[in-house]
Amino acid sequence: MRRPCDLDALQQVLCAALGSADPVALLAQLGQDTEAFTPLDPAVRERPTLIGGGCLYGPTSPVPTPHALAELVRRAEALDAHQILVPGVRRSDDTSALRAAGLVPVPAAPECVVRLTGEVDDVLRTRVGADRLRDVRRRHHAVSQETTWERIRLRDIDGKPWARAAFADLHRRQAERRREHGQHGDHVYNAAALDALAHGALADRTELFLRRRGDTVVQAGLTTASHNGRGVYCLTQAIDHEDAAVRDDLYVATLYQLYADARTSGLEWVHLGRGDAERMRCLGADLFVPLDHWLRAEGVTAAQDGPREPELSRFAAPPVTTVPVPGPARFRHQPRFDTVDLTSNTNPFLGPEGNYPHLDTTELAHTYLSALSALPGHEGVDALGPDHVLFTSGAVDGVMLLLAALASPGESVCVTPPTFPLYTHFARVLRLPLVEVPLRGDDLRDLDLQGILAADPRVTILCDPNNPVGTRLDPDQVHALVTRTDGVVVIDEAYVEFSENPSYAALVARHDNLIVLRTLSKAWGLAGARCGIALAQPGVIEALRRLQVPFGFTDASQRAVRDRLTDAGRALAAVKLIRAERERLAAALDGHPAVDRVFPSETNFLLVRLHKHDLVTERLRDAGIAVADTGHVIPATCRISIGNRRANDALLEALSFAL
């Protein structure tokens, strides 16, 4: 739909709808797009405007060339139309030519796309959850029992005058209903527009779909296949019913039917047009492309200079400031679903696995933050946006990225032993000086705050809850460190879902020197998907992205993550079971003849100090019980993961014979 020949065909459709040789209309006539112009001066909305680009029937308009823009200006002057509109331009496009021609952006609703990455029910389950899927299927079944579903090639519409008349009548009544409810816009698909489309270049790729209840047509719309043969655009649909609930049922049921038809035809996506992201998200959309209408009109000026990449963090190491985001990741926000993509040198004959993974994880980041904000102890996370999120190949990949991106040779990294050993490993691999400031207190939960500040590290890494101890750090000390240090503080929260104390995730919105690392390997049960998350201010995320290897987060992992996040109840229920087993096992170990001490734990493991450590661990190995020997870090200890009840009972039984 972004090809010049397609745009010319759509211009002819618009002219037919207007009953004019030229696409000149008032902004107040432009259907759903009118709402975008409501904030403008009423005089601007009532002036004749020349519609350029892909016109209003196209999902988006490519930026016209400078030559085409000059011709548009000349044409507007000849028609005495003092305003020019190029609607629905993607923000990821280069819009410098539009600015140079005097047009300014007016924010529009995003274009919404449903990507069919599997069977329809599986796709919807991972996008909207099992409950919402059941509701959609219920509506589809009920509507299918009462109505028939038909599709007609638009090229054949002349032989079905009843369908043509019903389409035009439904759209006319829909426009009347909008006006009765005080909604702006009366430009519709009328009979003339349908005829122009049926006899134009898009006729062979376009179908009329409709539902009939008996002999009465109650719904009619249009779909057009993409020129790359991979998807379909849903251009319009109108529904005949005064009851809003019935209209909603028909709309939802028809989208489900369109998804099923597209999947049966081997298509990869369905384009739903421009719309409210929250509403379309509930209907399965997972790609939302930001758009602007571009307008040249007297008295209308741009509110801003346009979207920019986030300003790089002041903590970025000097080499990072001079390099761009690597390779294709630079273009992650430029959608390619509706292009013929010949850039990747991959094998086109062996199915979708031959494609590189999706690089734009904006919608997945939104899903993650939504799931996170619903967890206990995560108040304030809803203040974060997708620009605060970077997906990594496990949280350990995030550690490597941030050390490489934020620390230069000679700048030290502080760790607080006992702690996760890979922090030290990566610091040494990167040849960064290492400062160890041990934890204090009987439960190893107190920071030596003055010792850390005196060392003046570039990066301080805290593990909270601590691995291998299992305790939480003193939150007052953590807050003091974040506010008083001149360097970056990294808090690894791999186990925080098992804790009853709050996360630090929401604080990244207020502190540019704080990075919170999360993982889906532990509480979320996705160790095999290799998904870590770095939460930080956008300038830090930009620095990390410049070092990240593209395509490391596979489509399979993205699907697994989305599936688990939309079914968070399962994970939360499992966390409760693990907590209960943790308390049961801790109580059973406390006072056991083989156990000297069970450390308090807010994780899914227990740190245990043993009597006769070497003998007991050897006997456990002989009994086929594997525990993590942490004696080299904390004398005479081992770390025991919380298994299911059977595994935990096997451990207790083996311990009873260990001495």
Query: In this structure, are 418 and 404 located in the same domain?
Result: yes
Is 332 a domain residue?
Answer: no
SS (H, E, C) 561-606: HHHHHCCHHHHHHHHHHHHHHHHHHHHHHCCCCCEEEECCCCCCEE
Token pair belonging to 210:
């409709």
CA-wise closest residue to 463 among 417, 429, 501, 497: 417
- Give the end of a domain, one of 245, 261, 296: 296
pLDDT value of residue 426: 97
89 and 164 share one domain: yes
Q: Do the domain assignments include residue 323?
A: no
DSSP state of 528: G
Q: What is the pLDDT of residues 328-363, one digit of tens each?
A: 888 888 888 888 888 889 998 988 788 889 889 999
Q: Quickly list DSSP for 621-653.
A: HHTT---EE-TTTSTTEEEEE---HHHHHHHHH
* 485 plus 632 within the same structural domain: no
Q: Which residue has the higher pLDDT, 153 or 181?
A: 153
Measuring CA to CA, which residue among 391, 354, 356, 353 is closest to residue 562? 391
Task: Kindly give, in sequence order, each residue whose CB lies less than 8 Å from that of residue 247, ignoring residues fewer than 6 positions away.
Answer: 239, 241
As a whole-number percent, the residues of the chain with pLDDT over 70 amount to 96
Q: Is pLDDT larger for residue 174 or for residue 445?
A: 445
Q: Which residues pair with 435 in a beta bridge?
A: 414
Distance between CA atoms of 428 and 435, rounded to whole angstroms?
A: 11
Q: What is the pLDDT of residues 373-388, one digit of tens each?
A: 999 999 999 999 999 9
Q: Alpha-carbon distance 567 to 573, whole Å?
A: 11
241 vs 239: CA distance, rounded Å: 6
> How many CB atoms are closer than 10 A to CB 300?
17
Neighbour order of strands in the sheet with 216-225: 24-26, 48-51, 83-90, 287-296, 104-115, 269-274, 231-239, 216-225, 206-213, 148-153
Nearest alpha-carbon partner for 313 in 613, 498, 547, 592: 547
How many domains are contained in the chain? 3
Asked, for residue 100, whether it belongs to a domain, the answer is yes
Question: Which amino acid is residue 80, in one-letter code?
Answer: D
280 contacts: CB under 8 Å, gap ≥ 6: 112, 272, 288
439 and 385 in a single domain? The answer is yes
Report helix, strand or coil for 282: coil
- The DSSP result for 449-512, as a single string, is HHHHHHH--SEEEEESS-TTT-PPP-HHHHHHHHHH-SSEEEEE-TTGGG-SSPPSGGGGGT-T
Q: What is the DSSP string of 22-65?
A: S-EEEGGGSGGGHHHHTTS-HHHHTSEEEE-TTTTTSS--PPPP
Mean pLDDT (the chain) is 92
How far are the Cα atoms of 359, 432, 488 from residue 313, in angstroms, in the given order? 22, 20, 11
In a domain, 461, yes or no: yes
Distance separating alpha carbons of residues 412 and 460, to the nearest angstrom: 9
In this predicted structure, what is the pLDDT of residue 306? 52
The DSSP result for 81-105, as a single string, is --EEEEEEEETTS--HHHHHTT-EE
- Take residue 394 and report the two structure tokens written for it: 């496990």
- Residues 526, 588, single domain; the answer is no
pLDDT at 198 (0 to 100)? 95
Alpha carbons within 13 A on the beta-carbon side of 116: 23
* 509, 542, 566 - which closes a domain: 566
**Is the domain of 165 the same as that of 45?**
yes
Residue 235 has pLDDT above 60, yes or no: yes
Strand order in the sheet with 605-610: 595-598, 605-610, 637-641, 628-629
Last residue of a domain, one of 296, 313, 344: 296
Beta carbons of 139 and 252 less than 8 angstroms apart: yes
Residue range 618-642, pLDDT digits in tens = 999 999 999 999 999 999 999 999 9
* Residues facing residue 459 across a β-bridge: 413, 488
Measured CA to CA in angstroms, residue 20 lies from 14, 17, 195, 217, 629 at distances of 9, 8, 15, 29, 82
Residue 186 gets which letter from DSSP? -
Which two tokens mark 636?
Answer: 């005479």
pLDDT of residue 32: 62
pLDDT digits (tens, 9 = 90+) for 43-57: 898 899 999 876 676
- Same domain, yes or no, for 248 and 234? yes
3-state secondary structure string across 223-266: EEECCCCCEEEEEEEEECCCCHHHHHHHHHHHHHHHHHHHHHCC
For the chain, percent of residues with pLDDT exceeding 90: 75
Residue 64 lies in a domain: yes
CA distances from 291 to 25, 59, 63 (A): 21, 10, 12
Q: How confident is the model at residue 182 (pLDDT cuts 50, 70, 90)?
A: low
Tokens 């094998």 belong to which residue?
Answer: 347
Amino acid present at 507 = L
For the record, the structure tokens of 430 come out as: 């990167």
pLDDT of residue 327: 81
174 pLDDT band (50/70/90 cuts)? confident
Instruction: Tell how far CA 549 is from the center of its chain.
Output: 19
Q: Is the pLDDT of residue 303 over 70?
A: no
Asked whether residue 44 falls in the same domain as residue 177, the answer is yes
557 and 610, same domain (yes or no): no
What is the identity of the amino acid at 30?
L
Angle at which helices 555-565 and 120-128 cross, to 10°: 60
3-class SS at 198? helix
d(CA 428, CA 33): 57
Q: CA dist 87 to 62, 114, 377, Å?
A: 9, 22, 44
Cis peptide leading into residue 318 (ω within 30°): no
Is 611:596 a contact under the CB 8 Å cutoff?
yes
For 10-23, what is each residue's pLDDT tens digit? 889 989 988 999 99
601: domain CATH number is: 3.90.1150.10
Q: Domain containing 261 — which CATH number?
A: 3.40.630.30
Within this chain, do residues 555 and 457 fall inside the same structural domain, yes or no? yes
Q: Which residue has the tokens 């909008």?
A: 178
Is residue 262 very low, low, confident or very high in pLDDT (cuts 50, 70, 90)?
very high
- Greatest extent of the chain over all pairs of C-alpha atoms, in Å: 99
Per-residue pLDDT of 72-97, as tens digits, reads 999 999 999 989 999 999 999 999 99
User: Are residue 38 and residue 81 in the same domain, yes or no?
Assistant: yes
C-alpha 18/C-alpha 23 separation (Å) is 7
Cβ atoms of 526 and 126 within 8 Å: the answer is no
| pLDDT tens track for 396-435 | 999 999 999 999 999 999 999 999 999 999 999 999 999 9
At residue 307, the pLDDT reads 55
The confidence score (pLDDT) of residue 18 equals 87
Q: Is the pLDDT of residue 156 over 90?
A: yes
Would the pLDDT of 110 be above 90? yes
Asked whether residue 324 is assigned to any structural domain, the reply reads no
CATH number of the domain that 457 lies in? 3.40.640.10
Say how far apart CA 540 and CA 586 lie, in whole Å.
40
CA distance 110 to 363: 13
Residue 340 lies in a domain: no
> What local confidence, expressed as pLDDT, does residue 350 receive?
87
Q: Which domain holds residue 646?
A: 571-656
Of 211, 147, 175, the closest CA to residue 32 belongs to 175
> Residue 31: is its pLDDT beyond 60?
yes
- Are 554 and 646 in a shared domain? no
Is residue 318 included in any domain, yes or no?
Answer: no
C-alpha dihedral, 240 to 243 to 247 to 249, nearest 10°: -140
pLDDT of residue 308: 64
Whether pLDDT at 305 is above 80: no
**Residue whose C-alpha is closest to residue 226's, from 251, 198, 202:** 202
